[in-house]
Amino acid sequence: MPSLPVVSLTSAPAKDVDVLVVGLAQTAGTEVLVGLPDESATALAKAFGRPPADVVRDLGGSAKNADTVLLPGLAGQRLIVVGLGDIDVSPEQVRRAAGAALRAASALKAERPLTLALSLDAIEPQVIKGAVEGALLGSYRYRETTGKPGVASIQVVTTHARKPEARHALDLGVATATAVSRARTWVNTPANDLYPESFADEIVKAAKAAKLSVDVWDEKALEKEGFGGLLAVGGGSSRKPRLVRVGYAPRGAKFHLALVGKGITFDTGGLNLKPADGMYTMKSDMSGAASVIAAVTAIAEAGVKLKVTAFAALAENMPSGTAYRPSDVLTLYGGTSVENGNSDAEGRLVLADALVKATEDRPDLVIDVATLTGACVVALGERVAGLMARDDETADLVLDAAEAAGELFWQLPVPEEARGKLDSKVADLRSTADRWGGALTAAAFLSEFVPESISWAHLDIAGPAFNPHEPYHYVPSGGTGMSVRTLVALAHAIAG
């Protein structure tokens, strides 16, 4: 895995850093530089022959959040001025600014890896954490394809560098960003390298490194126990399906969170073959599985006091002579029969198997994460994920965690009428309905596999899990790691 820069806290930037990042913020109708040390400001004013803020303005610098401009600094140093937005900064404003600044720095011409100081007046622990996460996430690269050496070390400048709260914020930021990066790399790995068996191997490695328990069901074990969803969906591929469980059970935990991730390592649509345009990005259809596994490793690393069990439901959805057909009736794990309405609605089938398995242990809350429906992308666009739950208390718990983590979720309903559309003449349930409200129908389907007595939330990350466009803020092209931060924040919130 490509390595992230090393991050530290400092009360003043080292004089010899290669790149100094400062902010430009909006306040009372004017723009002010934030974080530029007094002596640097004086020296720059002398060198430029006028106030640095004027030079920034002439070069097109703006206080708009995450706009960046490059200036020559002192003594061969380079200065990046990044827009913070309103001076009353939120953690997310700083996260975005830090991400944009690090992307700009990583693209600089250089002979060797760069050292960088990020000076944005971060004081509050949440803002420090935002700066750390933004900087690391903005530094992320899947492969060293740019030919640029990039940034090797980041000093986050804060007057609170020695405070325990600040150090804690640094550690949490590093653990979270590391988990997001791990999820991104799994998503970015092409499906000829990352398939159910190899992904399961990777998960086992990651779990063992984090001292977590791990169990893998191979195709024989899946058959023996009757995981009819995974077997049907994975049946068309020569790469056989897997179910992986990763467990974290610290002493004294009072709450059990179960996480279930959709892990379709490639979704061709099966016999309901996707058109070429829609298929190209489908190596990302395992993003939910990547998120839940990355999240449990970060939660364990931080020693959060709650029990977490994460399931990755892994299969490759391929058309072939052994593929499952539209109208096939499958018996899922636990015995529910399902009529397959469309072989491209594969995610809900593998999730149903895993949800039934996950709820056998009676967790207090189960959350599934999935790139489940194109309909959710139509409803909410490419940057906002859908959140569905059976009760608003659970929805609010997740929405609050998402807000704290700086991820965009919007609640969609699971209306009663949606379940009615899933009646089948030949099975307990049909997997698909008409084209209206597809995200809600999918949620209604999943809901059938979680007992009413267990709280449940469903995150449809089909839009934001993968960015097929240019990078922005701290979001790269390709896998984004969407939902990892929310899950980690949620675990912290629950454990208190």
Catalytic center residues: 274, 348
Read off the tokens for 102. 């690090």
Out of 347, 406, 463, 478, the residue judged to bind Zn ion by CB under 5 A: 347
Give the tokens for residue 213: 């328990």
Ramachandran area for residue 42 (φ above 0: left; ψ -120 to 50: alpha; else beta): alpha
Q: Please choose, out of 38-46, 64-72, 183-191, 365-373, the segment that lies near ligand BES by the rule CB under 6 A.
A: 365-373
Q: Are 431 and 349 in contact (CB under 8 A)?
A: yes
Give the residue, chosen from 10, 153, 342, 411, that forms a contact with ligand BES under the rule CB under 6 A: 342
Nearest CA-CA partner of 366 in 439, 462, 260, 286 = 260
**Site for Zn ion contains 368 (CB under 5 A):** no
Q: How far is the CB of 142 from Mn ion (least distance, A)?
A: 24
- Which two three-digit tokens encode residue 217? 């069901």
Helices (H) and strands (E) in the chain, counts: 16, 20
Output 252 or 275, the one with its CB closest to ligand BES. 275
Q: What's the CA gap between 481 and 398, in Å, rounded?
A: 17
CB within 8 Å of 180: residues ≥ 6 apart? 133, 137, 140, 294, 481, 484, 485
Half-sphere exposure of 404 (CA within 13 A, CB side): 19
The residue (of 189 and 373) whose beta carbon lies closer to ligand BES is 373
Nearer to Zn ion, 35 or 269 (CB): 269
The pair phi, psi for residue 15, each rounded to 5°, is -65, -30
Rounded distance, CA 83 to CA 61, Å?
8
**Distance of closest approach, residue 302 Cβ to ligand BES, in angstroms:** 30
Residue 353 binding Zn ion, by CB under 5 A: no
Work out whether 267 is an interface residue with Mn ion (CB under 5 A).
yes
Q: Binder to ligand BES among 158, 268, 297, 371 (CB under 6 A)?
A: 371
Residues within window 390-419 making contact with Mn ion, judged by CB under 5 A = none
Residues in the interface with Mn ion (CB under 5 A) total: 3
Residues 6+ apart with CB under 8 A from 32: 24, 25, 53, 87
Asked whether position 285 contacts Zn ion by CB under 5 A, the answer is yes
With binding defined as CB under 6 A, does residue 150 bind ligand BES? no
Closest CB 338 distance from ligand BES, rounded Å:
13
Q: Any contact of residue 344 with Mn ion (CB under 5 A)?
A: yes
If one asks whether residue 462 binds ligand BES (CB under 6 A), the answer comes out as: yes
Asked if residue 138 binds ligand BES (CB under 6 A), the reply is no
Q: Per CB under 6 A, does 438 bind ligand BES?
A: yes
Binding of Zn ion by 263 (CB under 5 A): no
Q: Choose one: 1-9, 262-270, 321-329, 423-431; the region binding Zn ion (CB under 5 A).
A: 262-270
Residues sharing a CB contact under 8 Å with residue 55, sequence separation 6 or more, in sequence order: 44, 48, 71
Contact status: 267 vs Zn ion (CB under 5 A): yes
Write the binding mask 373 to 392 for ligand BES: x where contact by CB under 6 A, - elsewhere: xxx-x---------------
Distance CA 398, CA 32 (A): 36
- Round the CA-based radius of gyration of the chain to a whole number and report it: 24
How distant, in Å, are the alpha carbons of 74, 99, 169, 407, 429 from that of 20? 10, 14, 22, 27, 59
CB of 234 to Zn ion, least distance (A): 13
Binding span for Mn ion by CB under 5 A among 146-154, 209-217, 341-349, 459-467: 341-349
103 or 262: CB nearest ligand BES: 262
Task: Pick what 479 binds: Mn ion, ligand BES, Zn ion, none; C-beta below 5 to 8 Å, kind-dependent.
Answer: none
Residues 6+ apart with CB under 8 A from 183: 287, 290, 291, 293, 294, 479, 481, 484
Question: Least distance to ligand BES from the beta carbon of 287, Å?
Answer: 8
Pairing, β 385-389 against β 455-460: antiparallel
Per CB under 6 A, does 261 bind ligand BES?
no
| Region near Mn ion per CB under 5 A, out of 86-94, 342-350, 365-373, 421-429 | 342-350
Is residue 222 involved in binding ligand BES (CB under 6 A)? no
CB of 379 to ligand BES, least distance (A): 11
What is the spatial distance between Cα 390 and Cα 458, in angstroms, rounded to a whole number?
9
- The contacts of residue 18 (CB under 8 Å, 6+ apart) are 77, 78, 110, 114, 115, 116
Q: Based on the shown chain and the rule CB under 5 A, indicate whether residue 316 belongs to the binding site for Mn ion.
A: no
CB of 401 to Mn ion, least distance (A): 28
Q: Where are the alpha helices (DSSP H) in 66-193?
A: 91-106, 125-139, 164-188
User: Whose Cβ is closer to ligand BES: residue 16's or residue 417's?
Assistant: 417
Binding site for Mn ion (CB under 5 A): 267, 344, 346
Binding site for ligand BES (CB under 6 A): 267, 285, 342, 344-347, 371-375, 377, 432, 438, 462
Binding site for Zn ion (CB under 5 A): 264, 267, 285, 347
